[in-house]
Amino acid sequence: MDTTLEDPLVGRVIDGRYRVDARIAVGGMATVYRAVDTRLDRVLALKVMHPALAADGAFVERFIREAKSVARLAHPNVVAVFDQGTDGPYVYLAMEYVSGCTLRDLLRERGALQPRAALDVLEPVLAALGAAHRAGFVHRDMKPENVLIGDDGRVKVADFGLVRAVDSVTSTTGAVLGTVSYLAPEQIENGTTDTRVDVYACGVVLYEMLTGGKPHSGDTPAQVLYRHLNEDVPPPSAAVAGMPVELDELVATATARNPDLRPYDAVMLLSQVREARAALSDAQLDAVPPQSRAEAHSTSEDRTGVVPRPVAASAPADDVSHTTRFEHPPVPPLPPGAPSRPSPRRPARGTLIALVGALLVLALGAGVWYIGAGQFTRVPSLLGKTEAEARDRLAEAGLDVGDVRQQFSETVERGKVIGTDPAPGAQIRGNGSVALVLSRGPEIVTVPKVKGLPLERAKAELAKVGLAPGMVSQAFSGAIPRGSVIGTDPEAGEKRAPDTAVAIVVSKGAPVDVPGVVGSPLDDARSALEDLGLKVQVATEQINSPQPQGTVANQSVAAGAKAATGDTVVLTVSKGPRMVPVPDVTGRNVEDAKRALKEAGFEVKVEKPFISFSDDVASQSVKGGTTAPEGSTITIRIKGL
């Protein structure tokens, strides 16, 4: 039965312009339709907010604000936003229509992808997120369902409906919005959302593409949350034998539970992905994955949901556009099925409450939390306080934090409060919220000198003056130690606006000329490379090659190439040459004989008598019908007088 026939919008023209042809998908906040722009005769996607939500003025205002934000992301890998408007009870967004499938569809059909295919999908996703991050936005709900793969092969990121401005809201005290399987630990535990939560989600998506399954599973969403908080994402090689170490390292870096250990944003992760790809051979990139663990259908873990956290007051008013408040009952024991094993540390009380709250929300559905009114208090003075200190003072006064925005200030240190709304001393209900205005520091800042500093310290110095660490690249340097900064762009001493991204070049150390070790015994090759300060990894699979059995058949870094001390060279061991059948070419014309032998994989040597008037082969050094090593030389002799 076609359910679109029952949809009142199908067949209708919205706002006198958009003819709705079919329903594509239904979500928690909106329904998406395929429509035609009758003015431009263009097929597009129309996202229409559910009428119940459209009645909420704050939600509509937020919806429009975010539509404008996403419309500024003019990037080939971001689903474009064309228009926004209202028609009676309907609030809509007109967007680019992508004919194709989602990454989730692809994973269901194929399971695990080859590394090359996984990276081919991940790179444009990171390019899209990188554009958003550099524009000051966080997606917050990255998952395979939001990655569209067009019929023409183009990859686009969709559904920026949960996007948040990085410098307007940094955390949420009432609820976490996102999809359970892709939530970063800091989102679950305290609601912190910056560019690194998208990096974490992309690391989980990469794991899923490489293995065909999610890294953390459980009988309930609460168990999945527990594992994200308390267990590292396993390396893909634990599920897929022979997975290159570079891909293990990519997943581990992107999904580090400590956000400070992750790449700062998608641009930085993209740089690391490209570096990892360059280190992989064609055979590694095109390795066929085993039977996957792809799921037959989506579960509650795949859907965007609201995870409440225990707080003394309601979440910021800015969050009502996407969340429903939930009452927090007394904390029962950890839900059944959570890992039971000797634990070196007990999970924080907040973690347990978040898990229990998640279980209640996702299992029992929605509820509404009302707070009594009638109690008033005065807004405390917060000038000069850090955001954390201001939040603590407001909590002590029984007040919540509303919007957090930033302004330039020549007198107040970056990150400290320069104003509040309502103002200090104003009366406010005991359950009200107070908006904070934080200093961005001076409107123009000077790029500090970080040359010679370790990378993490250099990032800290840039952040201290209000600049954003940008793309990190590497270069050889005999003067700067490995891992320390060679230089920046813009250079030290130049003036820039706060939050400008500063690209960093990090030293790989002095260059090492990689010797050629193909044909050498494995132990000799290992010693030669390690003596130069290089690391050696032996490929798990051996291959046939012209090299003798047990010697090196291939090296991942070519002879004569430059490498850095500590770089890894992968050696592949030879199984010896492959034995192939020798064609019988006696009696055949010499050119035909040479062609047949070369096509069979042999080198050919021709011996011709001093006097001969024939071009026919009299004999061959290896008898036809027998086998010989591939690549070996077969001698053919021409008939004489």
CATH number where 13 lies = 3.30.200.20
For the chain, the average pLDDT equals 80
- pLDDT for the residue 464: 86
What is the C-alpha to C-alpha distance for residues 234 and 91, in angstroms, rounded to an integer? 43
Q: With 70 as the cut, is the pLDDT of residue 481 above it?
A: yes
Same domain, 205 and 143: yes
Structure confidence at residue 383 as a pLDDT band (50, 70, 90): confident
The set of residues, in sequence order, having a beta carbon less than 8 Å from that of 376 and lying 6+ positions away, is 427, 428, 429, 430
Cα torsion at 60, 62, 66, 67 (round to 10°)?
10
- CA gyration radius for the chain? 31
The gap from C-alpha 443 to its chain's centroid, in whole angstroms, comes to 32
pLDDT digits (tens, 9 = 90+) for 579-609: 999 999 999 999 999 999 999 999 999 998 8
* Three-class secondary structure of residue 46 per DSSP: strand
Say yes or no: 615 and 528 in one domain.
no
Q: Is residue 181 part of a domain?
A: yes
pLDDT one-digit tens code per residue, 342-353? 333 334 444 444
Q: pLDDT at position 302, please?
A: 53
Same domain membership, residue 175 and residue 31: no
Residue 495 neighbours by CB under 8 Å, 6+ apart: 444, 445, 446, 447
CB atoms within 10 A of CB 67: 22
pLDDT at 510 over 70: yes
Name the pLDDT band for 325 (thresholds 50, 70, 90): very low
Segment 541-554 mean pLDDT = 92
Domain enclosing residue 82, as ranges = 3-96
Three-state SS at 406: strand
Q: Which long-range contacts (CB under 8 A, 24 or more apart) does 2-11 make?
A: 7/31, 9/33, 9/48, 9/90
- Is the model's pLDDT at 376 over the cut of 70? no
> What number is the average pLDDT over the span 613-640?
90
Residue 166 near residue 201 (C-beta atoms within 8 A): no
Q: How many CB atoms lie within 10 A of CB 263?
A: 25
- Out of 64, 96, 128, a domain closes at 96
* Alpha helix positions (H), 259-379: 266-279, 282-285, 349-364
User: Cα 26 vs. chain centroid, distance in angstroms?
Assistant: 25
Residues 339 and 388 occupy one common structural domain: no
Task: Give domain status of residue 18, yes or no.
Answer: yes
Coil, strand or helix at 40:
coil
Q: Is residue 307 part of a domain?
A: no
Q: 561-576: per-residue pLDDT in tens?
A: 988 888 899 999 999 9
Provide the Cα torsion 468, 69, 321, 149; round to 10°: -90
What type of residue sits at position 73? L
Amino acid at 127: A
483 neighbors 463 (Cβ within 8 angstroms): no
Tell me: pLDDT of 523 over 90: yes
Q: Identify whether 301 is part of a domain.
A: no
Indicate whether 313 belongs to any domain: no
Question: Does some domain include residue 390?
Answer: yes
CA distance 497 to 447: 10
- H-run or E-run covering 24: strand 18-26
How far apart CA 68 and CA 135 sit, in angstroms, is: 12
Tell whether 199 and 240 lie within a shared domain.
yes
Do 74 and 182 lie in one domain? The reply is no
Task: Kindly report, residue by residue over 6-15, the tens digit of the pLDDT.
Answer: 788 999 999 9
Please report, in angstroms and rounded to a whole number, the separation of the first and last CA atoms in the chain.
Answer: 87
> How large is the average pLDDT for residues 229-235?
90
Q: The dihedral of CA 445, 450, 456, 457: what is its sign?
A: negative
- The residue type of 199 is V
Same domain, 218 and 127: yes
Task: Using the predicted structure, report yes or no on whether residue 68 has a pLDDT greater than 80.
Answer: no
Does the pLDDT value for residue 225 go beyond 80?
yes
What is the CATH number for 625? 3.30.10.20
- Same domain flag for 52 and 123: no
- For residue 306, tell me if it sits in a domain: no
Contact by Cβ (8 Å): 424, 431: no
267 and 249 within one domain = yes
Chain-centroid distance, C-alpha 584? 56
570: amino acid identity, one letter: V
| Per-residue confidence (pLDDT) for residue 604, from 0 to 100 | 95
Residues 88 and 144 grouped into a single domain: no
pLDDT at 427 over 70: yes
Residue 24 has pLDDT above 60, yes or no: yes
Binned at pLDDT 50, 70 and 90, residue 340 comes out as very low
**Count of domains for the chain:** 6
- Give percent above pLDDT 90 in the chain: 43
Residue 145 lies in a domain: yes
CA neighbor of 202 nearest in space, from 149, 254, 252, 146: 254
Q: What average pLDDT score do residues 265-294 get?
A: 86
Amino acid type, 276 = A
Three-state SS for 211? helix
43 residue type, one letter = V
Segment (H or E) for 197: helix 195-211
Residue listed under structure tokens 């050629």:
516
pLDDT tier at 509, thresholds 50, 70, 90: confident
Query: Angle CA(368)–CA(370)–CA(373) in degrees, nearest 5?
Result: 165
CA 156, 159, 163: angle at the middle one, nearest 5? Answer: 115
Residues 50 and 45: their CA atoms lie apart, in Å, by 16
Domain termination residue (choose one: 96, 112, 140):
96
Residues 418 and 565 in one domain: no
Please identify which of the residues 141, 159, 318, 400 carries the catalytic annotation: 141
Q: State yes or no: is 141 an active-site residue.
A: yes
Burial (Cβ within 10 Å: 0-12, 13-18, ≥19) of residue 465? middle
Would you call 390 helix, strand, or coil by DSSP?
Answer: helix
Mean local confidence (pLDDT), 2-24: 82
Look at residue 586 in the predicted model and tell me its pLDDT: 94
Identify residue 619 by its one-letter amino acid code.
Answer: S
Bridge partners of 377? 428
Q: Which residue in 163, 154, 38 sits closest to 100, CA to CA?
A: 154
Of the candidates 523, 542, 573, which is a domain's last residue?
A: 573
Q: Which residue has the tokens 């370790």?
A: 454
Give 251's DSSP letter.
H
Residue 177, pLDDT > 50, answer no
**Residue 311: pLDDT over 80:** no
Q: Check pLDDT > 80 for residue 448.
A: yes
Q: Are residues 341 and 193 in the same domain?
A: yes
pLDDT tens, residue by residue, 87-144 = 888 889 999 998 888 899 899 988 999 999 999 999 999 999 999 898 888 888 899 9
List the one residue out of 1, 95, 4, 2 whose CA is nearest residue 48.
Answer: 95
Higher pLDDT, 168 or 291: 291
Which pLDDT value is given to residue 143?
A: 92
Under 8 Å between Cβ of 571 and 517: yes
Look at 426 and 241; give whichever has higher pLDDT: 241
Q: Are 614 and 639 in contact (CB under 8 A)?
A: yes
C-alpha–C-alpha distance, residues 67 and 84, integer Å: 7
How much of the chain exceeds pLDDT 70, in percent?
A: 82
